[in-house]
Structure 1
Amino acid sequence: MFQQISVDEPPPEGCSAFVAVHGMHTCKPSQIKKLLKEAPERPRPYIYKTDHTFPTLTKTAPVAILYAEVGTKDFAKFHKTLTEKAETGEIIYVLRHYIQHPDERKMLLSGYGVELAIKSTEYKAMDDTQVDANNSSPKPDNGIAEEVQGFYFDKLMQMYPDLKENLGEFRKHLIESTNEMVPLKVWELQDLSFQAASKIISTPVYEALKVLRDMSQNFPIKARSLTRVALNQEMKKEIEVNQKHLSETFGIHPGDASLYINGLHIDLDVHNSFRRNLLIWTGNIMSWYFFKCYIISITFIKIHTTHFCFLETIKTEGKTLNGLSALGINNQDLSKYLRIQVHSSDENYALDIRHSSITWINDIETDHMYSRWPSSVQELLRPAFPGVIRPIRRNFFNLVLFVDPVQENAADYVKLAELFYRHNVPLR
């Protein structure tokens, strides 16, 4: 605000600080006395409530307003002169913050907003018959245009527009009766998953995912209507062949979940450092419709997976495919090259340290220097600092050096073993 007021004065050119005395300005402290003599002849300036006024007892003295930036040398000169005159009662000293060259960037201040929502609680009289009629009228279905108990009400309403209200009531009655979870017979459950797959295949392609989502989320309610869906025998036969092939080839049995990326098996139990719960809907629907993957029943299973590990695997496979494509290998031969085992298998082996050729320097179980240590195995259950070997009179930890004493680097290993021995580390 003070910056805008200083622009209206206006400030003298080339002055980083100036004083205004009843409309007259000066950039030099020595000229203040001259301006004060002529001040009574000019009108007094208006003093705002937000102005910084130096405390003084007089209210009729001339008003001297200092426009300056606090902390500068020019401010110190003017402030010293004006405070002396204000203490003697010669002037009313007012300070307004002023910057000669302000920054064009605006300062962002944090704050909050408050919204007042006014709601009318007045009771209104309405005709119940019209309300019921409006509620009973069928609303346009923006979702899936599916049949209800064998009736397609969207087509019926187009054919008989004068019966929309009655058709809406009938549709509502059928939906409510369908939602009743009636127990199914055992023979009705045999092909239920295949019938669900047939239901999705019979729908248009752009509605298939919506039907799949609706069926998976409301399967107990939809089960009764699925029992009346005609089963596609060719689809059922193909799914059973896929189940048999995957069971014999990869060992994936009914109810199992498995993940492969370019033929690489991803162990879902191992890659769980950053576990994320994924809810996967499995069923014969997926087996037929989406790349003919192997899934055997409609159920919900929860698996733990690591998206970070998957991302690294996908990046590695992508680099491999790009490299093979750059060499001119076509798509038909890519799968053959991907089957080649390029990673060398880890060779794990164990050494038997019970041979008679090994000479032990110490024996924790028999040497006298370890006689004060407890020999109970229960000591392993006692709390200890991380990385500390518990002093137990048992040969639990053994250090065997396979070295050639003639070689120079063998001395380093011997010194390390001697260090353990001197500090009574529980190591044989």
Structure 2
Amino acid sequence: MEYRFRSGFCVLIILVCVSLCGFASVCAQIQKPKNVQVAVRAKWSGTPLLLEAGELLASERKDLFWEFIEKWLHSEENDADSRTAKDCLKRIVRHGSSLLSESLASLFEFSLTLRSASPRLVLYRQLAEESLSSFPPFDDSNLKNEVGGASEANEKLETKKSDSLLVGVNPKSPGGKCCWVDTGGALFLEVSELLMWLRSPSELTGESFQQPELFDFDHIHAESSISSRTAILYGALGSDCFKEFHINLVQAAKEGKVMYVVRPVLPSGCEANVGNCGAVGAKDSLNLGGYGVELALKNMEYKAIDDSMIKEGVTLEDPRTEDLSQEVRGFVFSKLLERKPDLTSEIMSFRDYLLSSTTSETLEVWELKDLGHQTAQRIVHASDPLQSMQEISQNFPSVVSSLSRMKLNDSIKDEIVANQRYMPPGKSLMALNGALINIEDIDLYLLIDLVHQELSLADQFSKLKIPRTITQKLLSTVPPAESSMFRVDFRSTHVQYLNNLEEDAMYKRWRSNINEILMPVFPGQLRYIRKNLFHAVYVLDPATVCGLEVIDMIMSLYENHFPLRFGVILYSSKFIKSIEINGGELHSPVAEDDSPVNEDISSLIIRLFLFIKESHGTQTAFQFLSNVNRLRMESADSADDDALEIHHVEGAFVETILPKAKTPPQDMLLKLEKEKTFMDQSQESSMFVFKLGLTKLKCCLLMNGLVSESSEEALLNAMNDELQRIQEQVYYGNINSYTDVLEKVLSESGINRYNPQIITDAKVKPKFISLASSFLGRETELKDINYLHSPETVDDVKPVTHLLAVDVTSKKGMKLLHEGIRFLIGGSNGARLGVLFSASREADLPSIIFVKAFEITASTYSHKKKVLEFLDQLCSFYERTYLLASSATADSTQAFIDKVCEFAEANGLSSKVYRASLPEYSKGKVRKQLNKVVQFLHRQLGVESGANAVITNGRVTFPIDESTFLSHDLSLLESVEFKHRIKHIWEIIEEVNWQETYPDIDPDMLTSKFVSDIILFVTSSMAMRDRSSESARFEILSAEYRYGLLNAIIHTEFKLNLKFFLPLFL
């Protein structure tokens, strides 16, 4: 066996991402003086049509690439009669179309004719060249003598000169072989070498750290194991070596030995080894379709001729001296004269007439007045309007005279004039299913991609049994506008307000008319209106420097009559950490000493604040916080450490209430510290902040719910931004003097939790995957899921579906599963939960038992009232007892089964199913199922084993910090996704009367799960759609005179720049 090791590990790949225009060159061949033929050719040599067909099918669905390979390999003997390129093209189209629906098959044939997949094959050529160049030269390259070497060098130099503009040069066959396998550490040209490598352990070959780099566009076999070694096959379908390598690598992938990848390449010199059809398209130059070429020609030869006696309509040259072979208005007069020599005089007279008619006729100004309307009339009355439009646009000067003499139909003109009331004349628009397309940027290939996207969605919806009319509505629906403005709904008793502009006496002199906000003021001048328009609520820890400085800023602005309503929400960072450790639950604090030394200073400040507020008022309580900061700063002047200490808090408390207290403040302070007064309120306030998700921000500002920084500059900027929004609402009458502004804005766009990972910026688009393609393909992972529901909602349709990808062998995975179950326990009428279990390491027996018990529960007892409590107890017991255990014995396995049965009986579930099924399950089958989920997640999400994720109707979220990803985040995901992506689709699907549409359908199939699955797959597919945010609806325009096929899925609408409206339904 011969190994060839890499000479370097840095791989340089030049991606073919340049547009086809950039790669194109114009080659003009003039056969006749006035007959110019133009071809736009690519800067690379031709690529095989057979390989292009595979790439086109892979762009539709990844598994179709492998189905096409198998179909072609099994039909090679039956289709051996394909001799010509035309026969091969028909054969390729026939095999590819058999895997697609009728509409997609026609687009597949058209795309294959356009050669739109050729650039991808050029990319594979570059990767193949890099693969070969990473290994030492082959032995036969060193056998050349000096003369031969010099000759070859001269040939290479000449080739380089002639092909200096070529890119993606086809690699030469290595050692005369047409296929090879690259494993990252070695290259195999023979199947025997590959088989020997497969039989050898990876530890012996030392290749575990040299895995070749893979890309999103690579073709990875569905049954490959992602944890195995990588084997990349370079070769062309149709060759014998490809078939041999493919069969062995597929078998190795099924056995879990390799990750099998195919990169289609036909090396130069192997065209004769790929059968009759394997090299079709590779030998010829690649002509590009969809591009027009303008030839600006000017005759630079001038003649001095006296034209004073020339009359209109008389030619300048003698017809007998001209070249009669030239076409005149469609006639070749040399042919006519040969066929009818006896009619020479008449033929030449007719030619003179045609030549005179080609002379540009002068049109009067008034003849141009209705030219656009007349052109529209000619097009809409033609038997083939599209052909007529093309002829007129390309030959307008020759037909303008006849157009101007056409009698105009007044009804067409009236319709055009009426439409111009809505759209300006001279404006051209194009919309695909309602989405506007930039006409200046569109080209044929981009248009084909957009149409393919729409047809693919329509094909998926058809396979999901969605009626055609509903499919048209779905493809034409306009999703709600994406909003980057989310307000945190902080309305709670835990908000401590300092002032109230509408009730406090200090604001009585201010005007109360809200229309004052529209009055002009000098730049920088504030508007003093006795109305709570701006709520500046700060979330802070009162024991931090940031929090205390914010308090001072609030007091300063308040004393200067700043027109804001100030408030704070206080929390303890130490208490928040204990909540995170306890899994997000509010547990009793750890027993502590009663001495103030061990006291949580933040909690103490909060409790003292609440006491002073209750006893002496809110303003005194805020003064207490300000005094705390003053004492801290005075102490910091004489010390390097400016950290807050407990004696600062105690001193501020005594100083604040001393003038108002009836009893000594010191005694009151000791009593409060000892009795832990207001401890519950303090903890609830911290818990409220934790649930809002604002603890990671330390100090932050909520301006009417909008999250900002806590600085004074940020406050002014947030106020100015909010002012413009309120002014707009007041101007349109949505806010008046009696409107509660905070109630209005938070009711309309308020959310209960802030998580920047879910509430993404408008510039950052979340990751989406299409679940419909996986469901409709060979993958069965989604078909095997049994969903969980909130109590008493099993029979309701759930528009939102959370799929949890859980690593059952990790604590983080179990934490995510815990939160999912608690999300359902908390109650959700519009969401359901499914679980995809995987394992980052070899699953032990307790893990397998847990997975099996969970699946039995979800499939058998999901309708039971206390099933969620049972699963919550089961998760806690498994995590606590078995997850961190190094090994499991048979006794512990039986103990686990007994515990499962005990939990089941305690929650009203029969334990018979568990006792009968758990001891007899197949451990190998469960492990195989876990590995299939790992491969599914790798294909869909591109993640390695052990990743935990949440998939919400196709949106993928990877919890960055599982300790802070709570059930509230699942509620936030449900709310955000339902509002922006799901609601409008759900409303359309609700219109379907499945029984009337499909009378033969089994009524037992029409369950809430069936409809929920439809919504899940439709929304995930629509999320992948690359659609313009701008839309147009031409329904408001008159369209009596139009050309269209109305019964179609894809609607392309045009408003053309001919001063008329013409919708075209393709």
**TM-score normalized with structure 2 length:** 0.17
State the structure with more CA Rg.
Answer: 1
Flag the structure with higher helix content: 2
